[in-house]
Amino acid sequence: MHTDELATLDATAQAELVRRRVLSPRELVDAAIARIERVNPQVNAIITPLFEQARDAAAGPLPQGPFTGVPFLLKDLIAAYAGVPLTAGSAVLRNYVPAYDSELVRRYKRAGLIVVGKTNTPEFGIPPTTEPIAYGATRNPWDLSRSSGGSSGGSSAAVAARMVPMAHGNDGGGSIRIPASCCGLFGLKPTRGRTPLGPDQGDLMNGLVVEHALTRSVRDSAALLDATAGPDIGDPYYAPPQLRPFREEVGADPGRLRIAFSAHAPTGVAVHEECVRAVRDAAALCAELGHRVEEAAPVFDQVVLTRAFITLYAASAAKNMAAIEREGLTVRREQFEPITWALHEMGTQVNAGAYLLALQDLQRVSRDVARFFTTYDLWLTPVLAEPPLPLGTFDASWEDPLKGFFRAGELCPFTPICNATGQPAMSMPLHWSAGGLPIGSHFVARFGDEAMLFRLAAQLEAARPWADRRAPVSA
């Protein structure tokens, strides 16, 4: 089978070739490496190739898992891979090399995945675009002049360009769903506590952050979540257990769902007409499939949510600096990007009372939003208020270091809500703009109910398939 034919297959199909002994893991890995070498120079998605380690892994005994032999990419943020730098997109951490695998990576390996590289991310995952000074911008395969989103933009660009069938991501404000929307992929943010963050963390930013992946198919996302979900030893909390494997939800009848939709941003920012068109089109498709669809949105205090969210992000930036200093490194202003340092300085001014008050406010907003889901099963919104933006949109200077941070608020009025509430949410590639740019639709379910999302996602994928859509820059 030609390497370009393999590029059209999702991870489940590639694993089936290995199971049937049509191809070996080494052949899958070599084909992925060939695609990466051909396409990555144009998009700059992969910053740490791990080709020889991958070939060695493919040659040795592999666990018999759902993805045995399938090439995979790790985002260079949070997930530790023994012996490989973990830079978080920062030049300061170029030489930080963990000596262990994180629990999530151990689960990826048990699933049979073979890591062929690490992907680009903005410094500490802060802005919703992947343009770190240390490693350069990742370009969107649908238009090289535009952002691939962030903070999992390297992973999304690599999957969209068909270098690999799926890649790791994490989401603390939309960082899986944003790049999924920008690059025309399926991106699920699981329920808070669904996947592990150990051994280093019990949670991140009091539960804003959760780990999963960007995929081209719904079934890959479901099967990968089956392989990685569940508590780790010592976790402070975990998501409600699912009733059956998520993979079994794909293709199951979702029933007649009560779906609310809204194209208005809760922050009041203007939503681009293409994003409005995408969400209304998705709502119409859901109605055609027999679901009860009406225009509605939860009522909550957006000002309180925004203030609390900024408090946690600033405190997290200060925590990152403290962690670097604890490793024996010196922290100086000129070592970091303006947005990172400005948030750090803001975070050092957050006292204990303000931090706990922010947590209280987020919990109150979460209850307000949860009440909405006693009436509706799902809430449909745009993922973003704008189509993929030109590279450089979020550039900041020392004169205006938080310009990019507040510009992010204009782009992303929807996704952070689910990080605050902990609810699962997904970006679905159901619409492309007149100019050929992907525009995602955002579906939110009640806490712990990824099953409902997978059932609906599979139905929408069958009704409006996207697998044959190919980015102009792809293998």
Cα–Cα distances in Å, from 48 out to 53, 186, 236, 436? 12, 24, 32, 30
pLDDT at 152 exceeding the cut of 80: yes
pLDDT band of residue 1 (cuts 50, 70, 90) is: low
Give pLDDT, residue 2.
67
- Three-point CA angle 313, 316, 322, nearest 5°: 150
470: in domain: no
| pLDDT digits 0-9 by tens, 216-238 | 999 999 999 999 999 999 999 99
471: in domain: no
51: in domain: yes
Q: How many CB atoms lie within 10 A of CB 290?
A: 12
- The one catalytic residue in 147, 148, 151, 427 is 151
DSSP structural state of residue 392: T
474: in domain: no
CA distance 95 to 231: 31
122: in domain: yes
pLDDT at 159 exceeding the cut of 80: yes
Give pLDDT, residue 3.
66
Give pLDDT, residue 413.
98
Share of the chain above pLDDT 70, in %: 99
Q: Does residue 151 carry a catalytic annotation?
A: yes
Helix (H, G, I), strand (E, B) or coil at 175: coil
CA distance 386 to 247: 32
CB 76 within 8 A of CB 47: yes
pLDDT band of residue 329 (cuts 50, 70, 90) is: confident
- The one catalytic residue in 148, 152, 155, 175 is 175
Query: In sequence order, what E strands does 107-171 have?
Result: 114-119, 139-140, 143-147, 166-171
| DSSP per residue, 68-116 | TT-EEEEESSS---TTS---TT-GGGTT---SS--HHHHHHHHTT-EEE
Please state the pTM of the whole predicted model: 0.98
Give the mean model confidence (pLDDT) for residues 157-168: 98
Closest CA to 72 of 127, 27, 115, 14: 115
465: Cα within 13 Å, side-chain hemisphere: 3
Give pLDDT, residue 5.
86
End-to-end CA distance of the chain: 15
- The one catalytic residue in 75, 109, 118, 189 is 75
Give the mean model confidence (pLDDT) for residues 324-342: 94
Q: Does residue 175 carry a catalytic annotation?
A: yes
Give the mean model confidence (pLDDT) for residues 104-108: 98
Closest CA to 307 of 265, 345, 341, 267: 267
Specify which residues 187 forms β-bridges with. 214, 427
Cα–Cα distances in Å, from 273 out to 184, 219, 386, 443? 18, 31, 8, 19
Give the mean model confidence (pLDDT) for residues 451-472: 98
177: in domain: yes
Give the mean model confidence (pLDDT) for residues 199-214: 96
Question: What's the structural domain count of the chain?
Answer: 1
228: in domain: yes
pLDDT band of residue 73 (cuts 50, 70, 90) is: very high
Give the mean model confidence (pLDDT) for residues 67-87: 98
Domain range for 121 is 3-463
Amino acid identity of residue 14, one-letter, is: Q
CA dihedral 261, 266, 270, 272 (to 10 degrees): -30
Q: Mean of the per-residue pLDDT values for the chain?
A: 97
Domain of residue 234, CATH code: 3.90.1300.10
